[in-house]
């Protein structure tokens, strides 16, 4: 319903109630006015008769010809016209009642007022019933429209609600629209989650396939090599054992890769489900960077890479120490793998009123331009990536940091080198 229709219905309701009220008021006020006039006139006549008893006939004639429209009722004591009637009237409430008159004999209002009151009642009643019927009809139409919209949604249809109206159903319409919008968003989120789940399963299967295939080929080669060696030794009459250390070492590496992949996938599933428990406490940034560097010390030594972590004063961030250190280790390791021998992986941190910023960068060639948009995607490995990982580390780091009111981004420095920037916001 439009606002104009609401105004019209309101006007009709007010008009109908006003007519009924006016009719009732006119009807009751007329009777009340008659009664008051009757009492006043009776008192006046009684006062005249008390002061001048001989004027009885004159008063009666005046009342009969000038005041009352109808004759007194039959059987009135006054019709006997004796002294007893007048004496009886002295103790009554009104002398006119003793003469056989009542308020209806006064020529005040009459049938015109009654008919006007009846007409007002009828007109007001008709307007009220019409307004009520019209409002009921419009309400039924609104309910039918809302019901049809919900039926359309339940049967898989789509579409927006009609133009909003300002009436009793406006709030209900808004709530229905909000609920339907939320359901659409929930459905889209569920579809996205299902697609991501299917994609993750495909990636997991692909990642698991690589080490399993390598293990299978290594075992087959070892069996063939062992069988050929035994056949040659038997033909020569010797039984010389053949070292298979390289095969077992390959198998061991692939098993370690499978174990690492399993742990990473379990961690990713906990992050996606929101069940990863974080013990967030105020922690010094220098402590986090130093512990992460210490845990990677052996790898840095083997690669011939140095680390530089300047002490820039105490700066606390509200994070989980262990998981944040794990995220920083992944970033340092990524820089180390991209750096050349004899170079340094640098760290710095600073604080402002909004956030604490941590930077980790290397002295290498930097990220490839086509790799930058995909660096934090799961299982993504750059074109020049070495066969040393499975492409989950950066994704884990980003997820852990974002769970603690932080952001992570990667870019190339103007003078060369890949840089990771972390910001932990204060609020």
* Ranges of H-type helices in 164-296: 170-236, 245-273, 285-295
Is the confidence at residue 362, as pLDDT, over 90? Answer: yes
Residue-level pLDDT at 175 = 79
Is the confidence at residue 296, as pLDDT, over 70? Answer: yes
Model confidence pLDDT, tens digit, residues 236-282: 655 544 455 666 777 777 777 777 777 777 777 777 777 788 899 99
Give bridge partners of residue 282 from the DSSP assignment: 318
Q: How confident is the model at residue 230 (pLDDT cuts 50, 70, 90)?
A: low
Mean pLDDT of 88-105: 60
d(CA 203, CA 268): 13
Q: How confident is the model at residue 423 (pLDDT cuts 50, 70, 90)?
A: very high
Residue-level pLDDT at 398 = 94
Residue among 71, 61, 70, 78 at smallest CA distance from 110: 70
Model confidence pLDDT, tens digit, residues 8-18: 667 776 777 77
Q: Are 291 and 325 in contact (CB under 8 A)?
A: yes
d(CA 319, CA 214): 40
Model confidence pLDDT, tens digit, residues 146-184: 787 777 777 766 665 555 566 667 777 777 878 888 888
Residue-level pLDDT at 119 = 73
What mean pLDDT, rounded, does the chain reach? 77
Is the confidence at residue 74, as pLDDT, over 60? Answer: no
Q: Which residue has the higher pLDDT, 197 or 364?
A: 364
Residue-level pLDDT at 122 = 76
Q: What angle do CA 399, 404, 406 make, to 5 degrees?
A: 80
3 state SS of 238: coil
Tokens at 347, concatenated: 């760290």
Q: Which residue has the higher pLDDT, 125 or 349?
A: 349
Residue-level pLDDT at 86 = 45
């Amino acid at each position: 319903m439009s606002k104009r229709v609401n105004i019209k219905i309101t006007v009709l309701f007010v008009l109908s109630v006003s007519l009924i009220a006016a009719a009732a008021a006119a009807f009751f006020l007329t009777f009340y006015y008659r009664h008051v006039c009757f009492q006043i006139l009776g008192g006046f006549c009684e006062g005249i008769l008390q002061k001048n008893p001989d004027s009885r006939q004159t008063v009666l004639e005046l009342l009969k010809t000038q005041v009352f429209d109808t004759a007194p009722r039959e059987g009135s004591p006054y019709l006997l016209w004796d002294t007893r009637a007048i004496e009886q009237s002295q103790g009554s409430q009104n002398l006119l009642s003793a003469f056989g008159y009542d308020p209806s004999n006064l020529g005040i209002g009459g049938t015109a007022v009654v008919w006007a009151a009846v007409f007002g009642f009828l007109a007001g009643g008709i307007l009220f019933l019409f307004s009520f019927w019209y409002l009921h009809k419009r309400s039924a139409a609104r309910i039918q429209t809302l019901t049809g919209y919900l039926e359309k949604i339940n049967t898989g249809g789509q579409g927006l609600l009609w133009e909003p109206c300002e009436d009793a159903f406006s709030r209900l319409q808004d709530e229905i629209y909000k609920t339907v919008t939320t359901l659409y968003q929930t459905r889209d989120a569920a579809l996205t989650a299902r697609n991501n789940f299917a994609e993750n399963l495909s990636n997991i299967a692909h990642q698991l396939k690589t080490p399993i295939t390598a293990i299978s080929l290594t075992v087959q080669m070892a069996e063939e090599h062992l069988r050929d060696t035994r056949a040659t030794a038997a033909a020569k009459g010797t039984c010389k054992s053949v070292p298979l250390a390289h095969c077992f070492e390959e198998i061991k590496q692939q098993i370690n890769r499978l174990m690492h992949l399993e742990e990473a996938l379990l961690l990713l599933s906990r992050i996606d489900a929101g069940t990863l428990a974080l013990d967030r406490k105020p922690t010094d940034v220098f402590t986090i960077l130093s512990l992460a560097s210490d845990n990677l010390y052996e790898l840095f030594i083997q690669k011939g890479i140095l680390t530089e972590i300047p002490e820039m004063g105490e700066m606390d961030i509200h994070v989980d120490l262990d998981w944040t250190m794990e995220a920083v280790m992944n970033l340092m390791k990524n820089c180390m793998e991209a750096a050349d021998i004899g170079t340094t992986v640098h760290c710095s941190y600073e604080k402002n009123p909004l956030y604490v910023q941590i930077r980790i960068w290397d002295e290498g060639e930097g990220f490839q331009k086509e790799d930058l948009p995909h660096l934090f995607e799961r299982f993504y490995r750059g074109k020049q990536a070495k066969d040393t990982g499975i492409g989950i580390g950066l994704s884990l780091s980003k997820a852990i940091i974002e769970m603690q009111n932080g952001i992570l981004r990667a870019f190339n420095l103007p003078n060369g080198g890949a840089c990771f920037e972390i910001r932990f916001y204060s609020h």
